[in-house]
Structure 1
């Protein structure tokens, strides 16, 4: 059975928020939960044995605290703990193979500048082979709704399916956002296309993309409340603003090329650099 893997950090508030999110997801999906803490190889590279022992002791304590939180969510949850040494990015990339979901925390708590740990979680998200959830240190318990970016692509369809499942399970609205950029739709990324493109025509075309993508979802889930939003402007801004009022954001990643495994698309990279809610990246 595929499992939910969660990275356990020593940052108490941010780390345990991610553990709780992962435990709730594993419980709802009836999946085992694996708690993984990685002591960075840089600690061992210092050659300081006492520093390494202290790091390992602290890691064991963090894993024990995380297991307690997970079992508080669901006492019947199957929980495994794992302590590793090495590169966190490489370890979590390996653990993501065959996992249903990889969950990592971030001490990002709003504002405009990500922390170093936020950047680190972005690298893990880029390397993962499973969908990744990055959980910021933000309380979203008073919010409702699952936001999803819709672009009509195959990876966008996978993100939409994930978001619809989550919205239905949580009994909250699905907020489907399709944002279009005038420069791109008018003829090129630098805006040197036809000058007389009617904005109304572009809006209608964007709305058609959204409606076509949502048609099978609405048909399969007639009870699901769907909030359809077509926005003119930067997709990252549109999604971040919608996510600021939601409990979850889901986006697809369009990382491409020979090193696509280590790349995220511009939109997924952008929203992870400006976390407004727990954010799922689906490849």
Structure 2
């Protein structure tokens, strides 16, 4: 049976599952609402999966490392793995995933991934620490995929909500190919904003995820139809951000990433993959993002 841990303060109650180390709930006590999608399997069976050691799809669902071909499903295996529960206190829950004989069959690196979720007032801070425990350089990507309930209140429509991007006026984004989910990297689109926001409308996600590259975003959020802020993710260090929902699904995912899906047609070595992170022997990679409620 899946084990869920929870902590709370005066404003928030959060839940984190051992399975996937996944954030499973953010309850806003002040406004009496749950922000995180309930993972209804008839629509989309996840809440906020951790994407590791890959983000997105690989071209032909495989990659090449040191002359060997390895299979890999979309977003890697962490989201489907049982994490080791490390500890819990008044404001933080910590989980660990480490390499083992099974992971090495598809990902030949020795690693430790430590994930912590902590609460501070109206914020949830998600921190990742990746440790290269091997003797050779480690190649990986890592990303977040939290799904927020939209609409958040009865009587509202998702199309009337707004995506918010701080003080930005215009953004570049790319799409993915429909026959495999890899990036159409040479087709750049423009998203023209008004007061830093863009109304969701009915067709924004018809062609799947919007991928914003090149450190364009310091933050990304969702606002109510009256433009009051619902949720904001602070992600200033992240080179990539995805925004996505399934057709007719009552949630929107805001996804800060270190790395992204393959370019369409890419068949090169893993070291040459767009967005791949490189970590020396015994080195650590540390990063965090904030989910701000309201």
With structure 1 as the length reference, what TM-score do the two structures score? Answer: 0.29
Radius of gyration: which is bigger? 1
With structure 2 as the length reference, what TM-score do the two structures score? Answer: 0.28
Looking at secondary structure, tell me which structure has more helix per residue.
1
Looking at secondary structure, tell me which structure has more strand per residue.
2
